[in-house]
Amino acid sequence: MTNNSHIKINDAQVRENPYGMQREPTFSGISSFMRRKYSKDIGGADLVVSGIPFDLAVTYRSGARFGPQAIRLASAEVASTKPYPWGFDPFENLVVIDFGDCFLDVHNPLSIHQTIIEHARHILESGARMLTFGGDHYITYPLLKAHAEKFGKPLALIHFDAHSDTWPDDSPDSLNHGSMFYKAMNDGLIDPRHSVQIGIRTWNDDFMGIHILDATWVHRHGTDAVVTEVERIVGDRPAYFTFDIDCLDPAFAPGTGTPVCGGLSTAQALSIIRGFSELNLIGMDIVEVAPAYDHSQITALAAAHIASDLICLLAKRKTEK
């Protein structure tokens, strides 16, 4: 009898067909995101997952450079069965490739902004969408530039966070994870009239006209009301989705650099995201997972579940076209 056990593990390395899920032990194997194939060949991919392990722009605790690794590792559990509550295999009709991480010259920090833009351009030129793991939240700024080049500006922005990240910063070369959207607004990359920030609970004297559904609003009105309001604000415009994990209360996401009490629960965030089936998501990122401050992987697991739901949204949208 032939022993075929060698093909039951490390699907990220040995799989030939990009479609479908294959169950393998959650406690071993190569840690690609949800066991998707690691490849630089992204021709024909619908979605490319990649990491940007950058945390030089933080204002408090560093460590988000290890976020992509942590999210991939936690995703092994998420990939063990069909995602709940969707009840289908999102990879039956959606080709998802794990591209690996973007190489950054951390000893030449002023090169990093352009490096991220070029990384994103390469992926977007293939025709695939991007799901990017940070890294701190600064990475969204160069990602927005690349997406605006591809899809036209201004874009709608759907932003989950404890902080608005619109603090003034007119230094062109600064690396600051609290001013990216100030810069993006001034660059004309996003349209505040059709953008929304969810979960905010840090004061800013100028929210720059972006619609704010702060954490108190979410707790008071509920997740269905958030979905309705986001659909009203964004409509069918090309929308970039960014989720700072500190949108979640520290009870649900302690592994982050700037935790703020009073945030959303993981259940609330997932419920909202699962309602976004009518939105035109042209790019997505999940940032600020810092595993050194995590406990029992709960922050990384939250990020992996959020990413899984985003993939299911894209798979459902593709099926219904």
User: Which amino acid, one-letter code, is at 152?
Assistant: G
What's the confidence (pLDDT) of residue 191? 97
d(CA 190, CA 58): 23
288 conformational bin, left if phi > 0, alpha if psi -120 to 50, beta if neither: left
pTM: 0.95
Average pLDDT over residues 289-298: 97
Q: How far apart are CA 68 and CA 73, in angstroms?
A: 9
**Cα–Cα distances in Å, from 315 out to 34, 39, 268, 318?**
15, 20, 22, 5
pLDDT tens for 223-252 read: 999 999 999 999 999 999 999 999 999 999
Sketch out the chain's domains with CATH numbers.
Answer: 21-320 (3.40.800.10)
- Averaged pLDDT score across all residues of the chain: 94
Tens of pLDDT along 48-62?
A: 999 999 999 999 999
Question: Which two structure tokens, joined as six digits, stand for 179?
Answer: 């001013």
Question: Where residue 2 falls among pLDDT bands split at 50, 70, 90?
Answer: very low
Average pLDDT estimate for 281-297? 98
Are 52 and 135 contacting, i.e. CB atoms less than 8 angstroms apart? yes
Average pLDDT over residues 9-35: 81
Buried b / exposed e along 224-239 (16+ C-beta atoms within 10 A): eebbebbbebbeebbb
Q: What are phi and psi of 240, to 5 degrees?
A: -95, 130
Measure CA of the first residue to CA of the last residue in the chain; give whole Å.
Answer: 46
